[in-house]
Each structure stands twice: as structure tokens, then as C-alpha cells.
A and B are shown apart, each in its own frame.
Chain A
Amino acid sequence: MAPAVDARTIVVITETSRIDHVRALLERVVDPDLPFLSIADIAILRDVHLSDEGAVTVTITPTYSGCPAMETIREDIRTVLGEGGFDDVSIETIFSPAWTTEWMSDDAKRKLSENRIAPPDSVIAIVPEVLCPLCSSDGVRTVSEFGSTACKSIMACTQCGEPFDYFKAI
């Protein structure tokens, strides 16, 4: 899908506006398993650097060790920045500090709820406090510790009966 305005034609005046432009482009990179969350929302995106020569360095931290979405995310970063006129892109992966759901913003958690995925508990507990994303009841049970992706488990509401995904606090 081509952007409405070719970003290459945008006159870049200051450093600040250029880096903002890069950040705005990166907002379009989403988690392929949670397409309503950008990589900034989910805190995979850790840092963005723009050199005087226009080289972009994007620093990311993987969620789970084996998360297959990371490869797609790397490709998408190159694609959106390329479309925005930034061809010199390097992507650095840093492991430390390890990614944690504590980095997710309230806004990101709200988006999860809106999409019927219970957001991660703000504290990392053995038995998390989870509300049903459909009826907000706290009468929930774990159906499976592991779900459709590494980051989620499967739960069900004992009140309304609805099964739902829980984004694990880790």
C-alpha cells in the first residue's frame, strides 16, 4: 500500500522533525500477531537513532526467545523506512534488560482489552489478577498455560462463559 504523500518529497528542516518523521514511520510497524499494537506500544522498539548522513539505527528487544514475529517485524521496519526514503537502515537487537510486560503503556493495555485480550497484570505474580475482557468479571480460570502465541495463555470466564486470551505478565 503506497502512502498518500511520497515521504521523499517532504522538506526536512530540522533534526527534530527528521527523527520525528522516522518515529512516525515506525508507528506503522505492528506486531503481526497483535496488529492493533505498534512495536512502540508493545515496547519492542527501544531506541531510534538518525545520523547526520541519514542512516537510521533502530534498536529492538525481542519479546520471547523464539517469537517468530520478530523476523517479520525486522522486515517491516526496513520496508516502512524504505518507503519513507530511508534506505540506510540497521537494526540492532539488544537482550539486556530483558523485555517485560511492565514496559507496556496503559494505552497498549487498553487496546488489548478492546480486542478481547486480557492485558497483563501490572505485577508479575504466580496467580495473576485477570478480569474477563468481555464482562469484567474476576471469576476466571486458566484453560491452558500456553496459547496460540508464546505471549498468551488461554483462560475462560466462569461468569459469562466466554473463553479468552490472556497476555501473560512476564
Chain B
Amino acid sequence: MNTVTTNNDLATYIVRHADDNVVIGQRLATYISRAPELEEDLAVGNLSLDHIGVADHLFTYAAKVDGGERTGDDLVMLRSEREYTNLLLVEQRHDGFGDLIARQFLFDAYQLPLWEALSASTDETIAGVSQRAAKEARYHLRHSSMWIVRLGDGTEESHRRIQASIDRMWRFTGEMFEADDLDREMASSGVGVDPSTLKDLWETTVDAVLEEATLTRPEDSFQTSGGRCGMHTEYLGQMLSEMQWLQRSMPGQSW
């Protein structure tokens, strides 16, 4: 089932990338004050801000492209779980810092080549937002890679825990490179990118960092997907119910 609530393909395409960013941004925000050290609290807050900022720009543009009455905020706050089209990886719950870093690393390694490819989009706004986001993604990836190495090549305990986190997140990584009709259509028109073309770059990054971290790359066994069609794991609904509470309870409230 694909609950398309946008009016045209371009808006749908922009929204899926915006969804990835608002969801991981919200996930990161819930961790502020819980990081193992003060510097990481700053990092988590900054990462969250970057992702939510990208989402904000994309949702604002999507609302404009969509042509309806809805604003970018409406798209974030008034869509249900089934209408969200983010990747499953970004909605995964983190039970501790290892999960947060594993999720972030696997996603950063995908986002950097994604933004670099979208920087050449024939759509001027998508290209501009992507050029900005690529610079940020490079910094994010450097940060998350550093932690993967530090934890993996750290103590026996940190190694065991980060390996478990990588293993846990792994089955949601295959979905990042699945291309659907919309991806292919957007890629052929020069607006978007076919995500399957990003996989080699992602693997090169992930393999190199895991090796340096003395971690084992999990087997490519069962992979779960469905996020782009609105079929989510149990965690997204829980997150949205908290995130959207204010707008649902008191519609139209603003700062």
C-alpha cells in the first residue's frame, strides 16, 4: 500500500527525502542530555539541527511544489505514520549510544553520496539544498566514523556493544538502495538519483571503516523494507505520536 497524499510526483519525491531527515533529526534530539560526554551532547544537538534544517527547506519546497493549501509544517505535523515515507533505518529506536552511532554511521555513509549526486539535480532548489547538505554530511560522516573506530577498536566491552548495534541496524540498510518507479523516473529526468547507484560508494566507506574498527561486516541476510510505501516498524508511530502531539491537540498553534 502506498498512501500518496501529495499532488504530484516531484512533491512525493521531495517529501521522502525530507521525511528521512525530520525522522532522524527527531530521533537525535531525544538523545540530547543522555550522551556519554558533554561534547557528544553538543554533537547530537548539532546533528539534529542540521537534519531538521534540511527537512525544513525540503518540506517548504515540497509544499510549494504540491500547490495545495498545506504548508511545510502541515506536512510534518499532520501526516500519519502510513503517510510518512522515510527509510526504516532512520526510525529505529536506539537503546544507548552504540545504536545511535551505528544508525548514524550507516545513514551518513548513504547520505553523503546521495547529496553529492543530488547537487547536480536539474531542479535548482534540490541542487542548492543538496550542495549545502553535502558539506554537512561530510562532517557528520567524519564524526560517526571516528566513533565507530573508537568503540570498535576500544575495549572488549565497547567492541562487543558496537558490533551488536551494527548487527541490529544492518537489516534496514538494503532498503536505502532499492529504487522504485518514482526514483527511476526522477533519475531519468535529471531531477533525482537512482539510489541503487549509491551502493558501491556506501559499501566502500562502510567496509573501510568497519575494517579499521576491527568490526565484522554482518552477513547480507534478510533485509526489511517498506518505508518508502508507508509500511513502517513499530517505532515510527510511537515517535510521531509524541512529536505531533501539540499540533494534534491544539491545531494551528505556532511560536
Contact = CB atoms under 8 A, between A and B. Distances in A.
Interface of A: 62, 64-68, 94-100, 126, 143-148, 150, 154, 168, 170
B217 interface: no
A68 B45 CA distance: 12
Contact of B131 (A64, A67, A98): A98
Contacts of A96: 124, 127-128, 131
A95 B57 contact: yes
Given A65-B54, A66-B51, 5 more contacts: A65-B129, A66-B53, A94-B128, A95-B129, A146-B45
B143 to A, nearest CB: 5
Contacts of B52: 66
Contact of A66 (B39, B42, B56, B125): B56
B42 A67 contact: no
Contact of B50 (A65, A144, A148, A154): A65
B215 interface: no
B25 to A, nearest CB: 8
B9 interface: no
Contacts of B56: 65-66
Given A64-B50, A65-B50, A95-B57, A146 B131 contact: no
B58 to A, nearest CB: 10
Interface residues of B, number: 31
Contacts of A64: 49-50, 53, 132, 136
B49 A98 contact: no
A98 B50 CA distance: 14
B80 interface: no
- Interface of B, secondary structure class, is helix
A65 B54 CA distance: 5
Contacts of A126: 142
Given A66-B50, A68-B49, A170-B139, A144 B132 contact: no
Contacts of B54: 65-66
B53 to A, nearest CB: 3
A83 to B, nearest CB: 24
Contacts of A67: 49, 53
Given A95-B125, A96-B124, A145-B143, A65 B132 contact: yes
A37 B252 CA distance: 36
Given A145-B139, A145-B142, A146-B39, A65 B127 contact: no
Nearest to B42: A146
Nearest first, the 6 A-B pairs at minimum CB distance are: A95-B128, A66-B53, A65-B53, A96-B128, A66-B49, A144-B39
